[in-house]
A = this chain, B = another copy of it.
């Protein structure tokens, strides 16, 4: 979704805290891998709890933050503003999401990416990022 993130990470690179692969982090990552659609932090935490994986809610949030920052998962917001996460492919893409069942399709639009850059240039905006999501009703959820 958001592309072309700020490339200039202002100074202070000396502090690069090692990210340890802990049991909890693995649990969250595996949970994400087991879903095909976007889930909220609360849902993921609930799912883990059900399976007997005891992971604190705060840890789930922290891990999702990490994964999201590193680009391993995509994060977007529901109409209500709640953050939801999904394990996605590495290439830049957008989403077509069923608002009934959540079924998600990754879509690409080279033309849209081009359009984005053109618009930005035309108005003199630099360091552009964009969000683009499609919501609809999938075939199996149609009346």
A binding-site residues for B, Cβ under 8 Å: 2, 77, 81-83, 96, 98, 105, 107, 109, 111-112, 115-116, 119-120, 123-139, 142
| A119–B136 alpha-carbon span in the complex (Å) | 11
Instruction: Indicate if the CB atoms of B135 and A123 lie closer than 8 Å.
Output: no
Q: Given known contacts A81-B77, A107-B119, is B112 in contact with A125 (CB within 8 Å)? A: no
Q: Are B136 and A120 in contact (CB under 8 A)?
A: yes
Cβ of A117 to closest chain B Cβ, rounded Å: 10
Q: Quick check: A96 and B123 within 8 Å, CB to CB?
A: yes
Is B134's CB under 8 angstroms from A116's CB? yes
Q: Of B98, B120, B123, B131, which contacts A132 at CB under 8 A?
A: B131
Bound together, the chains give a CA A119 to CA B97 distance in angstroms of 12
The residue on B at minimum CB distance from A82 is: B81
Q: Quick one: which of A77, A131, A136 has the most chain B CB within 10 A?
A: A136
Taking A105-B125, A125-B134, A130-B135 as given, write out 20 further A-B residue pairs in contact, using a Cβ cutoff of 8 Å, ordered by the A residue number. A81-B82, A81-B83, A96-B120, A107-B119, A107-B123, A109-B112, A109-B119, A112-B115, A116-B134, A123-B138, A125-B139, A126-B136, A126-B139, A126-B142, A128-B134, A129-B134, A131-B131, A131-B132, A131-B135, A132-B132
Which residues does chain B contribute within 8 Å of A98, judged by CB atoms?
A: 125
A116 to B115 Cα, complex, angstroms: 13
